[in-house]
Amino acid sequence: MQAQTRIIRLSTGHHVWTRRVGTSPIRMLLLHGGPGASHEYFEIFEPYLVKAGIELYFYDQLGSYFSDQPDDPSLWTVDRFREEVEEVRQALGLEDFYLLGQSWGGMLALEYALAYPQVLKGLIISNMTASIAAYVRYIQSLRDELPKEIQDDLLAHEARGDYDSERYQGLLIEHLYKKHLCRLDPWPDAVVRTFAHMNQQVYRTMQGPNEFVVTGNFKDWDRWADLGHIRVPTLVIGARHDTMDPADIEEMARRMPRARSVICLRGSHMSMWDDSEAYFGAIETFVRDVEAGRF
């Protein structure tokens, strides 16, 4: 299996890491989540999708673990990341390719598809709704299902801004992350590494303190009204136990002219890990249908 690592110099002078795996005319660029996470939790894509005849491009966005990590919060904006993706695409020579974005990467993929639809063959939005308001509404409903004493404990820590305390982090992990981020026990090594390597400056600038408190600069992001402009074949994947509302995932597909939705019934936010067969089966079927002109 051929693999090639390439470091790309951006127009800002910074460098980002990419890695190609497989050889095929069917090409897919992967946008990881976070923001500020890394490609590491995508390692599971290789055994599934390369075997299915897809050439994969892993990529750590600027600020992420394998790429440059400048100490400059002004860089961490949706618009700059969108243009970074275009620079990476040009450097890799990708045309008529598939773009897959998961979580924050799904938001970024939506932004890219609206700006640069002419270069895309297909779009895959994984575990991401079309607005932060919808995301916040749903994650609040998940918190509301917790026992009152757990909710009160979380709120007390948040009122003090005590986001890094061992007690607060333990509550998040036990009552929310293990149920809605990744349901495997223990978490796979690639997932653990991704969280360990999170760039907190990027994450907190854009998202906020954690997955369940959104105060960062993308908190007002909303693309519901623009979904109808995305005319490339699109797959929207969610999961029953996700931090994103499955009903939103289905509604997104309804609003796009050429889209379908798939809900992984056993999965969570990282359904590529905790519902792998359903997740990768949906991607393989989508790519096969697009390639055959059946979409």
Which positions are catalytic? 103, 242, 269
The separation between CA 183 and the C-alpha centre of its own chain, rounded to angstroms, equals: 17
25 Cβ neighbours under 8 A, 6+ residues apart: 55
86 Cβ neighbours under 8 A, 6+ residues apart: 112, 115, 116
Taking the C-alpha atoms of residue 179 and residue 183, their distance in angstroms, rounded to an integer, is 5
Q: Among all chains, which residue has been given the structure tokens 């067969």?
A: 277
Name the token pair of 113.
């598809």
E strand or H helix that includes residue 123: strand 120-126
Q: Among all chains, which residue has been given the structure tokens 């009204």?
A: 225
Taking the C-alpha atoms of residue 137 and residue 245, their distance in angstroms, rounded to an integer, is 9
E strand or H helix that includes residue 278: helix 276-291
Q: Among all chains, which residue has been given the structure tokens 């969280």?
A: 195
Taking the C-alpha atoms of residue 283 and residue 288, their distance in angstroms, rounded to an integer, is 8
Q: How many CB atoms lie within 10 A of CB 229?
A: 13
What burial class does residue 81 get, using C-beta atoms within 10 Å of its C-beta: 0-12 exposed, 13-18 middle, 19+ buried? buried
Strand partners, 59: 18
Q: What are phi and psi of 68, to 5 degrees?
A: -60, 150
User: HSE (CB half, 13 Å, CA atoms) of 233?
Assistant: 17
